[in-house]
Chain A
Amino acid sequence: MVTAFVYFCLAANLVAAVYICIGLFQYFMSHR
């Protein structure tokens, strides 16, 4: 249970990182 939660946390980190990368990409595209 605890282990599953920790791995879920790691997955959430990666999802957050991807979300930010998409935001950065969109920002650079709209401010070229």
Chain B
Amino acid sequence: MDGQTLDIFVMFVYLAGVVGIGYYSMNKIEDFDDYAVAGRCIPAALIFGTIGATLCGGGATIGRIAFMHKQGLIVFVALMGVVFCQIFSGLYIAPKVRQLGKHVYTISDLFGMYYGRSGRLSSSLVSLFFLMSMMGVQLLAMGRILESVLGMDFMMATVISTVITVAYTWAGGMIAVLLTDAVQFVVITVGLSIAAYLGLEHVGGLTNAIDVITSRAPESAMLLDFFRSDWSALKLGAFFLAFMLGDMCAPYYIQRYAAAASPKDNKVGVTLFSVYYIFFLGTTAAIGIVSLYIQPSATPDLALTALVQTILPAGLSGLVMAALLAAVMSTGDSLFNTGAITFTRDIYNEFINPTATQQQLLKVSKIVTILLGIGATLFALVVPDILGLMVHIYTVWGPAIIIPLLAALMWGELNERKASAYAGMPSILAGGAVALIWGPYLGDPYGIPNNIVGMAACLIVFVSVHMITRNWTPSKFFAPEPIELQGD
């Protein structure tokens, strides 16, 4: 068996395993609750695994090494924002989401409980926009991996990897997503650890690699500065905030928090993961340094896959390629599943068929999963950059959602509803619209990043509307939905 055949064989074994889990999960699905939140029985270890697999996606692997080639180690300073975000979520958000009971499937269910149908509709539209955009990024990354390993046509590779991901997500819903996430997380961590270890052996140790890189041209040495002199504090702060707010309370996390067996499982799983993520960052930083040493002029987006094929023996390179594929597939499946559940729960069940049975909801969410697969594939084939777009989308999500959500969950007790129900929708629309106009449309005037301006707009609108309407009794479109708390 030659090297490439062995690599392909290893990847095939991995893909067959993932499809096998999809088939196993399909037999466990009885109703919409199983399909959307895995029957709400997921222990802390699998919460850790699924959050990990979702967060350690294409952006955290291929995109991160690409960023190392373009900007250097400074990205890892900004990425501490993700660590802060996850610690906060683990301690304060995730347990509360699970406490809010058996009617929470999506982030919009939370908005419905505090801001009525107006909050539900506006937050679900922002969620769907966010998820659809991210799907393109992940599918593109999947296609690139298959293209570089198999030498396959890019378009064909994207379509094949999408079909596999959609197939097991469609078949097994959230159960399949959680179980494959756990397996994929193991493959990612083991695969990247092997890549980092053998990479460091290949370059004669980390210290040697750093010495050689810093002795090259000044631009090359600058890539190893944690605080580059040509980056202003404002620019670094903007990246930090983008990473911190970008992932906070994303729809796929809220759905996972709702799937946990208890609030305590959420607290343990998410907080443990947030601490572990520092070590994951250390691993990818080491791989980035190895890549800069061996292939300083590599094409950034292809650097990691090229590195793996250069330094690893046959079989192991197949395993690490499978790990990269796992990274993007596990994020991709989250997006398909959460997108389908968001549409089914917040649009179909709320506005089209409010009396739908569990079986009807299950049927609709399966159909939407397939439609999302087709739509996202078309989107993926016209979007070029991996991390660039993720940062771009991050900046719109935070300003629209974070403030009204934190006001709902953090202000007083969960069933107190201290914030005015009228403040939700206007602040979501204002935050999202201002961030979109300030960043992508105006190009961040005065160097002020759009996430800061968008958050400020959201906060101003939220506080203003709250002050005006705090004594009003919400009705109709703004009437909050009931809260049924569940204990710890």
> Which positions in A face B, CB cutoff 8 Å?
2-3, 5-6, 8-10, 12-14, 16-17, 19-24, 26-27, 31
Contacts and interface: CB of A to CB of B under 8 A. Distances in A.
26 contacts: A6-B206, A6-B283, A6-B286, A9-B196, A9-B283, A10-B193, A13-B192, A13-B193, A13-B283, A14-B189, A16-B52, A17-B186, A20-B46, A20-B49, A20-B52, A20-B185, A20-B186, A23-B43, A23-B44, A23-B46, A23-B182, A24-B45, A24-B183, A26-B45, A27-B42, A31-B28
B207 A22 contact: no
B12 interface: no
B48 A19 contact: yes
A14 B28 contact: no
Looking at B48, B185, B189, B280, the one whose CB has the most chain A CB atoms below 10 A away is: B189
B324 interface: no
Given A17-B189, A19-B45, A20-B48, A2 B196 contact: no
A2 B49 contact: no
Contact of A3 (B183, B206, B276): B206
Residue picked from A16, A21, A24, A26, most chain B C-beta under 10 Å: A16
Contacts of A13: 189-190, 192-193, 279-280, 283
A12 B276 contact: yes
Contacts of B185: 16-17, 20
A10 to B, nearest CB: 5
Interface residues of B, number: 32
By secondary structure, the B interface counts as: helix
Contact of B210 (A2, A12, A19, A26): A2
Contacts of B282: 5-6, 8-9
A31 B29 CA distance: 12
A16 B189 contact: yes
A3 to B, nearest CB: 5
Given A3-B205, A9-B282, A13-B283, A27 B49 contact: no
Contacts of A31: 28
A19 B46 CA distance: 9
Given A10-B196, A13-B189, A16-B276, A23 B45 contact: yes
A24 B46 CA distance: 7
A26 B43 contact: yes
Interface in B1-59: 28, 42-46, 48-49, 52
B90 to A, nearest CB: 15
A24 to B, nearest CB: 5
Interface string B195-210: 0110010000111001
Nearest to A31: B28
Contacts of B207: 2-3
A28 B185 CA distance: 17
B322 to A, nearest CB: 14
Contacts of A21: 186
A13 B452 CA distance: 34
Interface in B137-152: none
Nearest to B178: A27
B393 interface: no
B281 to A, nearest CB: 8
Contacts of A23: 43-46, 48-49, 182
A6 to B, nearest CB: 5
A23 B51 CA distance: 14
Interface in B409-450: none
Nearest to A3: B206
